[in-house]
Amino acid sequence: MFTNNHYYTESEVAEALPIAVGTLRNWRYLRKTKGKDAGPAYCKFGGKVVYLGEHLNAFVRRNMIGAGGQIVSKGAA
């Protein structure tokens, strides 16, 4: 889905998943302040938030739901 060694902006991630940019920001807030495993891992470079493709692919795999509603790979990265 995402190219592993490519960095994506929050706008690109939001469009590809598809979710709101605000959701990504909320997940980052939960990770930082509450220690929750919310959303994909991210990097900050000089205040700019980016997401590495391999982290996005791992996030998608961890949240994959199969036919019939069973969780296919929760927790696998």
Q: What is the DSSP code (8-state) at residue 64?
A: -
CA–CA separation, 31 and 29 (whole Å): 5
Confidence band (pLDDT; 50, 70, 90) for 67? low
Please calculate the CA angle 52-59-37 and round it to the nearest 5 degrees. Answer: 105
Q: Specify the pTM.
A: 0.80
Confidence band (pLDDT; 50, 70, 90) for 77? very low
Mean pLDDT of 21-38: 90
Mean pLDDT of 9-16: 96
Mean pLDDT of 55-67: 87
Looking at the predicted structure, is the pLDDT value of residue 70 above 80? no
